[in-house]
């Protein structure tokens, strides 16, 4: 409730809404919007690949259970370190927001997300260091959300922003299905294979970030 007080101070930019889109009309609109703005295509690739970093975080805890077992104290440390990472990242970007470009922040987020599964494998039997990984996970969560929302703002206009937001939600298929696939494949392939695969997919998203033009393609 306290955090929500800031939203009451936000001054929204009013935009003209010409017509409401029906459910079927919205889905038929997606291909034409992607063709109209190539940035939207790259953005969809990004949220599907880089978004795996968010979906992987619960599996880091499950992996810890395999190696250390889980106690209330250990789970509490995971949460504490993650919150510490989120707070430190939030304060840092609040102070230096004017000096940071969203695309650069996106690349930094990719580096963190691709490193997390690898570092967790390397230090899987060192409990003290493994706990510190959750500081990085907290930093990643903040940088990802700031970067991905900021990029959406820059590749869209006031008129099509809500449509783009809807398309990004509807097109976020891989990250939606990943927990189901991972839950089935981990008992078969093991954590090592899944973590390395996720790291490679996230690293591949760097290609889409370099092609992204963080400015509206159409006015």
Three-state SS across the chain?
Answer: CCHHHHHHHCCCCCCCCCCCCCHHHHHHHHHHHHHHCHHHHHHHHHHHHCCHHHHHHHHHHHHHHHHHCCCHHHHHHHHHHHHHHHHHHHHHHHHCHHHCCHHHHHHHHHHHHHHHHHHHHHCCCCHHHHHHHHHHHHHHHHHHHHHHHHHHHHHCCCCCHHHHHHHHHHCCHHHHHHHHHHHHHHHHHCHHHHHHHHHHHHHHCHHHHHHCCCCCCCC
> Residue 156: its pLDDT value, please?
84
Quote the CA–CA distance of 39 and 212 in Å, as a whole number: 6
> Residue 218: its pLDDT value, please?
41
> Residue 84: its pLDDT value, please?
95
> Residue 98: its pLDDT value, please?
80
pLDDT grade, residue 16 (50/70/90)?
A: low
Does the structure show a pLDDT above 60 at 217?
no
Asked whether the whole model's pTM tops 0.85, one would answer no
Average pLDDT over residues 137-162: 88
Please indicate whether residue 191 or residue 30 has the higher confidence score (pLDDT).
Answer: 191
Question: Domains of the chain: which residue ranges?
Answer: 30-211
Does the structure show a pLDDT above 60 at 147?
yes
Does the structure show a pLDDT above 90 at 80?
yes
pLDDT grade, residue 11 (50/70/90)?
A: confident
Fold for domain 30-211? Answer: Growth Hormone; Chain: A; (1.20.1250)
Span of 60-74, 139-153, 180-194, 203-217 with lowest mean pLDDT: 203-217
pLDDT grade, residue 15 (50/70/90)?
A: low
> Residue 5: its pLDDT value, please?
82
């Amino acid at each position: 409730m306290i955090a929500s007080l800031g939203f009451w101070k936000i001054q929204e930019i009013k935009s003209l809404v010409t017509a409401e889109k029906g459910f079927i009309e919205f889905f038929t609109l997606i291909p034409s919007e992607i063709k109209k703005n190539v940035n939207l295509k790259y953005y969809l690739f990004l949220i599907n690949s880089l978004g795996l970093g968010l979906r992987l975080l619960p599996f880091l805890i499950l992996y810890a259970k395999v190696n250390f077992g889980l106690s209330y104290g250990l789970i509490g440390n995971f949460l504490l370190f993650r919150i510490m990472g989120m707070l430190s990242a939030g304060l840092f970007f609040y102070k230096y927001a004017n000096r940071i470009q969203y695309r650069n922040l996106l690349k930094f987020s990719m580096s963190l997300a691709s490193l997390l599964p690898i570092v967790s494998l390397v230090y899987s039997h060192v409990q003290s260091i493994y706990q510190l990984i959750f500081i990085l996970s907290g930093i990643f969560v903040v940088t990802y959300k700031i970067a991905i929302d900021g990029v959406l703002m820059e590749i869209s206009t006031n008129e099509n922003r809500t449509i783009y937001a809807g398309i990004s939600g509807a097109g976020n298929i891989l990250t939606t299905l990943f927990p189901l696939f991972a839950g089935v494949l981990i008992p078969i392939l093991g954590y090592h294979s899944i973590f390395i695969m996720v790291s490679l997919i996230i690293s591949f998203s760097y290609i889409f970030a370099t092609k992204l033009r963080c400015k509206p393609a159409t006015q």
